Structure 1
Amino acid sequence: MPLHLAPQYANDTLHGRPATRYWPDKPSNLTAIAIKMLQQTTSANEILRYQTVYEVLVAKRYPRAHVALFDLFELISDIYADPAQYLNRSVLTKASDYEHHCDVAGEVCAYEYDHAYPDSFMWWDELHPSGKMHEIIAQEVAQVLEGQSRYASYWSDGADGRQTG
């Protein structure tokens, strides 16, 4: 996930949260937090990308296996860049908006727009994707399993006569 886009970690003065129920003593430098999250998620994704190719094609650890690496980071980034293409835009919200707002103690919570437009939000709360996002991700995972996703890379070790990469 591109966690640097989540309101919990975002460098967004309107929607980046200075403190939340998940991180009540959050430091005030939102820019440093967003950059750190971007670095960490990018690094982890690159390790997985290179390690997967190595495991399948070089080490041949999974004979006759067909492997797909789903790039959730890219999918979420695309939705964030163009939310109108993916989300119900009945309510004019930004991709960084979220539906379920709570105080720092997590004791007083309320839904934005009284939960009338759940398909309009990318984020359910400061940290978690919305129900609509889960639906979009599930649809894309189905495409990955069918070998049809533009958000996946596919490999086979070639033991069955096919080698991809």
Structure 2
Amino acid sequence: MTMSLGRSAWLIAFVGVVALKVVTARITDIVLFGDSYTDQSRAHSIANGTYPGKDYKEVYPPADTAADGGFQWPFYLGLYGNYTIWNYAVGGAVCSNKLTPLSDIPDVSSGQQAWFVQDHVVRNGTSHQKLLLDPASFIVIIFVGTNDVGVNSFVTNDQGTNVSLPNVADCQLDTLRQLHALGARQFIVNSLVPLQLTRLYSDSSDPTIYYPSPPHNGTVWHRTIFNLVHSLNRILRDGVRTLDTEWGGGGSVQWFDTYGFFEEMYNHPARYFNGSVPANVTGQCHQCPDPDDWRQCGIGDCTPDERDSYMWWDELHPSEQTGRNLAAEMHRKIEGKSKY
């Protein structure tokens, strides 16, 4: 016996199939914006006078290394998911230099976005534009905020006049809106990590290579950065939910709980760090014996065989092994399998 679907039932079934195809479309490209937690070589390229141009390709070890001492996590994300990586992040960047200007580094909201437009948007000198990437086949990931809340900004009370954390959060959300207007439709916003776990923002008042002088109150910094990170993450997460509703199905923005994932690695290190020495989540591999002299950095570093035992590469940046773990979890997030 066969059954025929009525017109309404058939239409519902058809729409369901179409929706399923949209959800399960193959992701082929990943577009990334951010700071030194994501940048592989753009900051070094700018410093060396070779300003990144159209279709700039990242430079990998041994020719150049990232702030994690080696390959940055997007490299591994590309391997795990067979993705083409478009990494526009720059070390030292903030969301907007108009809010928290650290230096003249291309920021997420303008400079880095301009690179994306140069590579992927055709405007032909008119108001009409064409996105060269298929919106169903790529995801935009934004991972920024460490410099916005840190040294020379909120933690040291050096942010711009009348600039607040909601302004910084709005910058990220407005950047998503701008990219959505260009045709992007799938987004992931990474939360800030628990910066209080780094040596720079520990409760120690000892000088570090990232803040050699003047003396600072480590206890105050430690508590302040904890509050800043949690506050900005809360504002951002609420904003992501609002934005997802605002688009009403015309786009999707997900929240990645990087903070929670870093806590997981910190609390269960043996699951994530497997170098030749016991897992270490409190120290760092890269040493700078004299905080006033960058030239001495590297003296006393852990050995190459020990690197994968460390959660932190230096006083501020995650290690390459931490990046591998992040890449694996982000791949699961893209596949809809991550609890983060």
Q: What is the TM-score of this pair, normalised by structure 1?
A: 0.80
Q: 2:191 aligned with 1:9, yes or no?
A: no
Structure 2 Cα separation of the partners of residues 134 and 101 of structure 1? 19
Any idea what the Cα deviations from partners look like across 1:95-127, whole Å, max 9, x if unmatched?
111000012122212253333311000000001
Q: CA deviation at 1:66?
A: 2.7
Question: CA 1:70/1:133 → structure 2, altered by over 3 Å: closer, same or farther?
Answer: same
Question: CA 1:17/1:87 → structure 2, altered by over 3 Å: closer, same or farther?
Answer: farther
SS at match of 1:77: helix
Of 322, 327, 334, the match for 1:133: 322
Q: CA deviation at 1:78?
A: 1.2
Structure 2 Cα separation of the partners of residues 106 and 17 of structure 1? 19
Moved over 3 A (4+): none
Structure 2 Cα separation of the partners of residues 147 and 111 of structure 1? 42
Of 80, 85, 100, the match for 2:286: 100
Structure 2 Cα separation of the partners of residues 17 and 68 of structure 1? 37
Q: Is the 8 A contact 2:207 2:213 kept in 1?
A: yes
SS at match of 1:127: coil
Identity of aligned residues (%): 32
Structure 2 Cα separation of the partners of residues 78 and 140 of structure 1? 12
SS at match of 2:303: helix
Match of 1:45 in 2: 233
Q: CA deviation at 1:28?
A: 4.2
Structure 2 Cα separation of the partners of residues 18 and 44 of structure 1? 27
- State the AA in 1 paired with 2:200: Q
Q: CA deviation at 1:32?
A: 1.1
RCO higher in structure (CA 8 A, sep ≥6): 1
Of 300, 304, 308, the match for 1:119: 308
Q: Is the 8 A contact 2:205 2:217 kept in 1?
A: no
Structure 1 Cα separation of the partners of residues 272 and 302 of structure 2? 19
Match of 1:83 in 2: 269
Structure 1 Cα separation of the partners of residues 217 and 312 of structure 2? 22
Gap regions ≥5 residues in structure 2? 1-192
Of 241, 259, 265, the match for 1:73: 259
SS at match of 1:97: strand
Structure 1 Cα separation of the partners of residues 216 and 198 of structure 2? 16
Q: Is the 8 A contact 1:95 1:122 kept in 2?
A: yes
SS at match of 1:125: coil
Q: Is the 8 A contact 2:311 2:322 kept in 1?
A: yes
Structure 2 Cα separation of the partners of residues 30 and 145 of structure 1? 38
Q: Is the 8 A contact 1:68 1:144 kept in 2?
A: no
- State the AA in 2 paired with 1:2: P
